[in-house]
């Protein structure tokens, strides 16, 4: 019984893909000014594998960090917290640097999953808050409260809950998610209210390292380099509530409005603009644009009013149907 539960639990580890250092460097370089004197928390990051942890160790002094905390989730063994306050020579071989930093850190076991049974662990099919290192566990929430900025790639399967917790605790963050998260009601409302926004290096495909046992169905989405397996994910987006320069870049508009080229949806006074490049410079009404416009959104230039598809809408009453033909998801926006 115990073994069956254990293998069930292992099968649950479907979010095991690790962000590459190059992607982290590309994004975090845009936020340097925000880190000085701050406590950074990577709460889905095993220090043995996480490039987020490694990035902050290597850049600890340059960024002027106060502290770096990391916790990670374990289903079948106890997990632990590390607190690093600098002080190692972080040059040279990566694995050696990681080990030096681990030794230099204050280490504390996370005890949640030991409170449940004699063996210490009682597995269920669903990861629960009481498992060691779960970002929702009381110990990890306490660490969150002591932190200033959370930076990680959290489990996509818990993205809504993850963001809700950050917002509830009023934390600054830079995290990775799926572009589809833009159209989750919860995420969309936060974007509409300018409480969160896309980061800088968005869209396109990114490659993530995966463990040897990880199953990848599609041939074109896997590769092996130097014996390391990678899995590609399209439509990846950074989400943040820290300001960055790209968010204030003005979209240059050049097209002129004409009713023939910009049809209206059947039951609302909203024009269809099928690519953000075609947003007419001289149209002041409401427009439906592809969801990926969020990546070009400058709150000084546009207002986001709602989100809609052919059957549903949030924020602004409109369904995206033209002449009976269903149009894909649209953000409903207006120039300011």
Ligand X SMILES: C[S@@+](CC[C@H](N)C(=O)[O-])C[C@H]1O[C@@H](n2cnc3c(N)ncnc32)[C@H](O)[C@@H]1O
Task: List interacting residues with ligand X (CB under 6 A).
Answer: 13, 15-19, 44-45, 50-52, 73, 127, 133-135, 152-155, 158
- Closest CB to ligand X among 150 and 307? 150
CA 39 to chain centre: 19
Taking CA 154 as the corner, what is the angle to CA 58 and CA 99, rounded to the nearest 5 degrees? Answer: 30
CB of 119 to ligand X, least distance (A): 21
Q: Which is nearer to ligand X, 158 or 251 (CB)?
A: 158
With respect to ligand X, which residue has the nearer C-beta, 95 or 258?
95
> Which of 71, 309 has the CB closer to ligand X?
71
Q: How far is the CB of 162 from ligand X (least distance, A)?
A: 8
- DSSP output for 177-243: EEGGGGGSHHHHHHHHTTSSEE-SS-SSEEEEEE-TT-----GGGEEEETTEEEEEEESEEEEESS-
As measured in angstroms, the least distance from the Cβ of 134 to ligand X is 4
Q: Considering the complex, what minimum distance in angstroms separates the CB of residue 77 from ligand X?
A: 12
Q: How far is the CB of 165 from ligand X (least distance, A)?
A: 10
Residue 147's nearest CA partner among 244, 43, 241 is 43
Q: What is the residue whose two structure tokens read 């073994």?
A: 3
Q: Smallest distance from the beta carbon of 135 to ligand X, in angstroms?
A: 4
Euclidean distance between CA atoms 215 and 218, whole angstroms: 9
Specify the residue, 100 or 233, whose C-beta has the smaller distance to ligand X.
233
Cβ-based nearer residue to ligand X, 147 or 309? 147
Q: What tokens were used for 166? A: 């950050």
Cα 223 to Cα 12, 154, 209, 232: the distances in Å are 23, 23, 10, 8
Cβ 196 vs Cβ 240: under 8 Å: yes
Q: Give the whole-angstrom CA distance, residue 72 versus residue 45.
A: 5
- Decide whether 5 or 49 has the Cβ nearer to ligand X: 49
Which pair of structure tokens corresponds to residue 160?
């809504």
CB of 79 to ligand X, least distance (A): 9
Show Cβ contacts of residue 152 under 8 Å, excluding neighbours closer than 6 positions: 42, 43, 44, 45, 50, 52, 175, 176
Q: Which helix (H) or strand (E) holds 266?
A: none
């Amino acid at each position: 019984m115990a073994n069956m539960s254990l293998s069930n639990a292992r099968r649950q580890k479907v979010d095991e893909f690790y962000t590459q250092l190059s992607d982290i460097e590309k994004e975090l370089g845009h936020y340097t000014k925000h880190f000085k004197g701050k406590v950074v928390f990577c709460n889905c990051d095993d220090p043995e594998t996480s490039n987020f942890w490694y990035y902050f160790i290597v850049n600890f002094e340059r960024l002027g960090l106060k502290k770096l905390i990391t916790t990670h989730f374990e289903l079948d063994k106890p997990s632990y917290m590390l607190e690093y306050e600098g002080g190692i020579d972080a040059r040279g071989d990566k694995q050696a640097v990681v080990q030096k930093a681990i030794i230099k850190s204050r280490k504390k076991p996370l005890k949640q999953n030991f409170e449940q049974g004699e063996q210490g662990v009682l597995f269920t099919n669903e990861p629960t808050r009481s498992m060691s290192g779960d970002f929702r566990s009381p110990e990890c929430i306490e660490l969150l409260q002591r932190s200033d900025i959370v930076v990680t790639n959290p489990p996509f399967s818990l993205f809504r809950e993850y963001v809700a917790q950050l917002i509830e605790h009023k934390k600054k963050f830079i995290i990775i998610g799926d572009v589809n998260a833009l159209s989750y009601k919860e995420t969309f409302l936060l974007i509409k209210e300018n409480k969160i926004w896309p980061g800088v290096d968005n869209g396109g495909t990114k490659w993530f390292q995966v463990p040897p046992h990880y199953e990848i169905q599609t041939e074109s989405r896997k590769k092996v380099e130097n014996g390391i397996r990678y899995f590609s994910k399209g439509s990846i987006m950074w989400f943040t509530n820290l300001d960055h320069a790209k968010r204030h870049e003005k979209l240059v508009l050049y097209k002129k409005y004409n009713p023939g080229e910009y049809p209206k949806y059947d039951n609302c006074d909203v024009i269809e603009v099928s690519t953000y490049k075609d947003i007419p410079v001289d149209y002041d009404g409401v427009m439906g644009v592809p969801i990926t416009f969020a990546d070009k959104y400058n709150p000084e230039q546009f207002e986001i009013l709602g989100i809609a598809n052919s059957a549903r809408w949030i924020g602004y009453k409109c369904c995206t149907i033209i002449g009976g033909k269903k149009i894909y998801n649209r953000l409903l926006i207006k120039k300011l």
